Homo-oligomer: A and B are copies of this chain.
Amino acid sequence: MTRSFYPPQRTLMGPGPSDVSPRVLGALSRPTIGHLDPVFIRLMDEIKALLQFALQTENELTLPVSAPGSAGMETCFVNLVCPGDKVIVCQNGVFGGRMRENVERCGGIAVMVEDAWGEPVDPEKVRAAFAAHPDAAILAFVHAETSTGVRSDAATLCAIARENGALSIVDCVTSLGGIEVSVDLWGADAVYSGTQKCLSCVPGISPVTFSPMAVERIAARQHKVQSWFLDMQLVMGYWGGSAKRAYHHTAPVNNLYALHESLVMLEEEGLEAAFARHALNHRALVAGLEAMGLSMAVAAEHRLVQLNSVVIPEGVDDAAVRAALLNDFDLEIGAGLGALAGKTWRIGLMGHASCERNVMHCLNALEAVLAGQGARVASGLAAARAAYER
């Protein structure tokens, strides 16, 4: 007989999932109701309004896709890309590569704009790509690259797309709730995110929003969206504004309780306060890490405050350090991905997990583990403490 599963209580400071607030876990486990229950329909309306707030948009087509961020990405591509469409895809980490896969699986043509892993997307390269491909219909890029910890300039990149008559698809999986995501101000046309990063909700849901121009493009499609499950024309029938909601698929009811609660918490704190909190804890962590003698992998002006890439010091055993943090301190930090595997650690300070306690816990644990492995490190605690002095 298999026994019930009781997870250890970790502190989640990797690239996500991040620590989930007890309030959100409490909401998650409330009694399930039907996905067509009038009470649930009202909850759906509240979630839409809260997502519009979080994404800073008035887009009517704003809703949570019933699957993880990867499906949110796919939702944007399958609805906007038709076979033969040319899409300029910026790659400066793992997720740009995944965008390319999406374009090609839709029968589109991906024009790649490459930047080094650890660098932001270079707007000049994007301008050059549009000059070389004036028929490009879409620009796709990642706002907050989870694989490297780099922020790109979304406002500038969306403006370049608009100037060239193209729509923009923006990956905001790791940015939403941690740093500014201003969909309308940017003029972004399709944005997807995740719940398990700076919203500190459980993984499994992907908020998306489409601008009126993106909706027009979807409505004008001659070629059916290749995914039935992610076809926005059908999903809208369930999530749309009309009084009569048509069954499309069974919504993940309890996950939506949790998403609602996490968005209520964000509304209570306020966006600016949440961003300031993320920035403060980032400054403290970086001060601590640098005092320890470690170096950040990303230049200061491009760093994500919610995901901190640290260079693994020469001679230190990456996997052994992460295992010791997990086993001795119940602390999860992230490994490097792709080109940065074995070269960086990724320390998340996302949502509920972006707090002074976690910063100090991480610095303390890292110091102990590195010293235990014979590395020469100073203490970072005092420097981090100083960053919090009012």
Contacts and interface: CB of A to CB of B under 8 A. Distances in A.
Contact of A39 (B8, B19, B255): B8
B71 A257 contact: no
Query: How many copies, total?
Result: 2
Interface in A53-89: 66-71, 73-74
Contacts of A263: 2
Contacts of A37: 10, 326, 332
Interface residues of A, number: 80
Interface stretch (A246-254, A299-307, A375-383): A246-254
Contacts of A105: 224-228
A112 interface: no
A202 interface: yes
Nearest to A102: B228
Given A20-B32, A105-B227, 17 more contacts: A1-B264, A5-B46, A5-B257, A5-B260, A7-B31, A7-B43, A12-B33, A12-B34, A17-B34, A17-B253, A37-B326, A74-B227, A74-B229, A105-B224, A202-B255, A203-B254, A204-B253
24 contacts: A2-B46, A2-B260, A4-B27, A4-B264, A5-B43, A7-B40, A7-B43, A7-B257, A8-B31, A12-B34, A20-B254, A25-B30, A26-B29, A28-B28, A28-B254, A29-B29, A67-B71, A70-B228, A70-B229, A73-B229, A204-B250, A204-B254, A226-B226, A226-B227
